[in-house]
Amino acid sequence: MIFKTDYLIIGNGIAGSLLALEIASKGQVILLCKEGPEEGNNTYYAQGGIAAVLPGTQDSADKHIRDTLVAGDGLCDQDVVSRMVGCGAPVIEALTRHGVLFEKSGSEYRLSREGAHSENRILFYKDITGREIQSKLLKKVRQHPNIIFMPYHFAIDLIMEYKMKSVKSERKRCWGAYVYNKQNNEVLAVGARKTFLATGGAGKIYLYTSNPDTATGDGIAMAYRAGAVIRNMEFMQFHPTTLYHPYAKNFLISEAVRGEGGILKDENGEPFMHRYHHLKSLAPRDVVARAMDTEMKRSGADHLYLDISMKPKEFITGRFPNIYSKCLEYNIDITKEMIPVVPAAHYTCGGIKADIDGQTDIENLYALGETACTGFHGANRLASNSLLEGGAMALMAAESIHRGEKGDPVPELDPWESPTTPKHENVFINHNWDELRRTMWNFVGIVRSDKRLEAALKRIHLIRDEIREFYYANPLSVNLIEMRNIIINALITVRSAQWRKESRGIHYMIDYPEKSKAFQDRYTDFTKKELE
């Protein structure tokens, strides 16, 4: 089956959904969601809030810019940072215009502080800010007559002009994507004048992650296969505090808990962060994650603790109702006892090389939010800058669409070709999936070395070759498509880490523990041609 539209948006988090609403007046939009409409993206799970400098506060854009640059450890693009920070108030205005609520005290917004921020500038809604944003934008998306919302539709590959039979051209231009309908196993060809990747990050390449199961780096992998530049994938941010419990799956304990006075403690209940940074428990995430890794290796403990129990119960249950209730499900009363926590893969600071409005080096292809790498985060993302980036890029991409023309009409599309003889054995995919994620966790984790990276690369090459052969001989399935994608993300991450022979931001190499001037202001760029 073949569809044609003006704009195809893949991913319905803050970037994809806000963009859809902002450009729907310009033409028809198809908005794809890989899973169910609410829980299929990282926006839904964002707890802390969104960083924004608002007029009338003691905060300033210069302070927010400085904090972002410090966290980025020398690799931020200062012009991009300045423009992103300047979008803070417009993003909040756009979200509230679409019905999103943020906590207020009287007529003024309540502002929280998180690690490495010099001022209170985090707007939030309880401890479910992302869920509030997602639900309100989704409601507007479903009501808009010019937006076709398609949940349970998983993009497989981009439709590239140089591969099309109907067009005799070597032009590097995107015309939409092939899409797998998970409900009936049908593959659609969705043609579009402009295609936007807003598919989130690649946290699921690691065994332990705060991300949902959908975070398999699909947009990054598709862009890589199409020939786009993939940048800075060595910078995977590990969140210091995910809930440690045998039955808890990927549950994040928001950085806002530390922002409101929570203290990290060791297995004996003693604070330890004073030994690592003057900001103690509010140090930047890379510092905190490495400190926790060091403490656990020193003591042999498999987890540490975060303590907020010194605060009044009414404050805790009012400020963190979701965290309180979730922990209570596992018989942990955070008003009385410490929360067991462990670091986990959290945010992909690298991604598809893109301008601030999302334009990639492929014609008609845009990348937004966590899928993109614009130079905003540099070597480490400042807390709560992620929702800001997603919203800001959506607004700037929409501006560029409104300024420009729709572009050429979509040419005749080739139908999807796939094997007809089923040979599927899920045990094969599941085994490789597990091996890959364990390899990444053990060898490409919070602390890395040349030896570990080389060991990881050998294993990943073997898995890649096996899955590549398996993919082209078997019918599609969700697991198979995701496996193909996480291998690409893992491979680029390892090769990028090998290239950067220094320690900077969230990339820490025990063989090269200091920053190097040779890598200052240098990005890690890879394309398919260089990695095959």
The string of pLDDT tens digits covering residues 250-279 is: 888 988 899 899 999 999 999 999 999 999
User: Looking at residues 120-124, what average pLDDT do you find?
Assistant: 96
- Per-residue pLDDT band at 165 (split at 50, 70, 90): confident
Beta bridge mates, 154: 180
Return the CATH fold of 2-234+349-403: FAD/NAD(P)-binding domain (3.50.50)
User: Looking at residues 25-46, what average pLDDT do you find?
Assistant: 88
Beta-sheet pairing, 29-33 with 104-105: unpaired
The percent of residues above 90 in pLDDT, for the chain, comes to: 78
pLDDT score of 504 more than 80 = yes
Cα dihedral 291, 293, 297, 301 sign: positive
Task: Return d(Cα 116, Cα 467) in angstroms, integer.
Answer: 41
Task: Record the pTM.
Answer: 0.93
Residue 285 annotated among the catalytic residues of the structure: yes
The string of pLDDT tens digits covering residues 12-21 is: 999 999 999 9
Asked whether the beta carbons of 239 and 290 are under 8 A apart, the reply is no
Highest mean pLDDT of the ranges 210-214, 275-279, 422-426: 275-279
Asked whether the beta carbons of 92 and 101 are under 8 A apart, the reply is no
Lowest-pLDDT choice from 258-267, 377-386, 416-425: 416-425
pLDDT score of 244 more than 80 = yes
Sheet strand arrangement including 111-112? 50-51, 122-123, 111-112
- Per-residue pLDDT band at 40 (split at 50, 70, 90): low
Higher-pLDDT residue of 38 and 313 is 313
Kindly report the number of other CB atoms within 10 A of residue 276's CB atom.
17
What residue type is 210 in one-letter code? S
**DSSP letters for 205-266:** GSSSBSS-TT-S-HHHHHHHHHT--EE-TT-EEEEEEEE--TT--S-B--HHHHHTT-EEE-
> Directed axis angle between helix 478-499 and helix 450-471, to 10°?
150
pLDDT at 112: 92
Task: Return d(Cα 19, Cα 126) in angstroms, integer.
Answer: 25
393 Cβ contact partners less than 8 Å away, ≥ 6 residues apart: 15, 356, 357, 358, 368, 369, 372, 374
Owner of token pair 């231009």: 173
Higher-pLDDT residue of 44 and 92 is 92
| C-alpha separations of 297 from 13, 52, 292, 293, 302 in Å | 36, 37, 9, 6, 8
pLDDT at 472: 83
User: Looking at residues 446-450, what average pLDDT do you find?
Assistant: 95
The string of pLDDT tens digits covering residues 141-164 is: 999 999 999 999 999 999 999 999
> Exactly one of 113, 193, 258, 285 is catalytic; which is it?
285
**Residues 426-531, CATH architecture:** Up-down Bundle (1.20)
DSSP H helical segments within 102-200, as ranges? 129-143
Kindly report the number of other CB atoms within 10 A of residue 516's CB atom.
13
Give the three-class secondary structure for 271. Answer: strand
> Directed axis angle between helix 478-499 and helix 426-443, to 10°?
20
DSSP H helical segments within 404-477, as ranges? 426-443, 450-471
- H helix or E strand, kind and range, residue 19: helix 14-23
User: Looking at residues 27-34, what average pLDDT do you find?
Assistant: 96
Tokens read off for 37: 């409409």
pLDDT score of 482 more than 90 = yes
Domain boundaries, the chain: 2-234+349-403, 240-346, 426-531
pLDDT at 425: 63
The string of pLDDT tens digits covering residues 189-204 is: 999 999 999 999 999 9
Beta bridge mates, 511: none
DSSP H helical segments within 144-200, as ranges? none
**DSSP letters for 360-372:** -SSBTEEE-GGGE
Asked whether the beta carbons of 197 and 368 are under 8 A apart, the reply is yes
pLDDT score of 343 more than 60 = yes
- Per-residue pLDDT band at 528 (split at 50, 70, 90): confident
CA atoms within 13 A on the CB side of 119: 19
Give the three-class secondary structure for 112. Answer: strand
pLDDT score of 417 more than 90 = no
pLDDT score of 167 more than 90 = no
Task: Return d(Cα 72, Cα 380) in angstroms, integer.
Answer: 5
pLDDT at 422: 55
User: Looking at residues 75-104, what average pLDDT do you find?
Assistant: 97
pLDDT at 1: 85
CATH classification for the domain delimited by 240-346, as one of 3.90.700.10, 3.60.15.10, 3.40.50.920, 3.40.30.10: 3.90.700.10
pLDDT at 529: 79
**Residue (of 387, 394, 388) closest to 41 by Cα position:** 387
pLDDT at 227: 96
Higher-pLDDT residue of 474 and 275 is 275
pLDDT score of 120 more than 90 = yes
pLDDT score of 420 more than 70 = no
Could you tell me how far CA 306 lies from the centroid of its own chain? 24
Task: Return d(Cα 24, Cα 144) in angstroms, integer.
Answer: 8
